Amino acid sequence: MKNKILFVASLLFGLMMVNAGLNKLFNYMPAPANLSENLQKAFNAFTEIGWLMPLVAVVEIIGGILFIIPKTRALAALMLFPIIVGILLINTVTDTSGMPIALVFVAVELWVIFENREKYLALIK
């Protein structure tokens, strides 16, 4: 049962990452009109760096696809960890309205990292 729940959570997480990455590249979902001023300033700063958002988008797309596949989930969790930390920090510092979904992302990410902890031990031995 635990494996099925982890698979469904990983599937949804991976699809959300792929969607977020594709949206960064193709901008098919408009930004909400009620963004806070601090959050708007942060997004403007990120887009000023021309290469940053395409890089994040590509990592989100590749990481999201890898997150769905059980064999590559451990690698995807490491790839997406800095992005998840960034999502959590943005929602902590600038605008807390997105905190519930950010905490769900963090929970799924940490769960997958915990489940694959044996694979990571070889990296630090």
69-116 pLDDT, tens digit per residue, is: 999 999 999 999 999 999 999 999 888 888 999 999 999 999 999 999
Q: Which domain covers residue 84, as residue numbers?
A: 2-124
Q: Kindly state the average pLDDT of the residues 43-62.
A: 93
How many structural domains compose the chain?
1
The Cα–Cα gap between 119 and 101 comes to 27
pTM value is 0.91
Contact 86, 55 (CB under 8 A): no
User: What's the mean per-residue pLDDT of the chain?
Assistant: 93
Q: Kindly state the average pLDDT of the residues 34-49.
A: 85
**CB-count burial class (<10 Å; 0-12, 13-18, 19+) for 63:** buried
User: Does residue 1 have a pLDDT over 90?
Assistant: no
